Amino acid sequence: MTGFVLNMIVLWNTIYMQAAVNQLRANGDSVNDADVASLSPRLYEHINMMGRYSFSMPEAVTKGELRPLRDPTDPN
């Protein structure tokens, strides 16, 4: 894997992991700092490296906002 791709994956994962932690804390869930410190943004199993990709960005993302996080209670 090239350094650029790995760096982009780490950046993406870091941004969304922090957003998820912030959302959990905002919802009143207990999130231990020690647990957050042990998270690793270097995971990439969720990314298919052998495919073609087509990206369409929602308008909110083009304005610098994050995509909405998944709701674990949503059946989809």
pLDDT digits (tens, 9 = 90+) for 20-43: 999 999 999 999 999 999 998 887
Amino acid 1: pLDDT: 53
Residue 65, number of CB atoms within 10 A of its CB: 10
Average pLDDT of the residues of the chain: 84
The ranges assigned to domains in the chain are 3-62
Tell me how far apart the alpha carbons of residues 29 and 45 are, in angstroms, rounded to a whole number. 27
Q: Which of 25, 45, 47, 46 is nearest to 35 (CA)?
A: 25
The separation between the first and the last C-alpha atoms of the chain, rounded to the nearest angstrom, is 32
pLDDT of 46 > 90? The answer is no
Q: Which residue has the tokens 């949503």?
A: 74
pTM above 0.85, yes or no: no
Tell me how far apart the alpha carbons of residues 69 and 58 are, in angstroms, rounded to a whole number. 14
pLDDT of 53 > 80? The answer is no
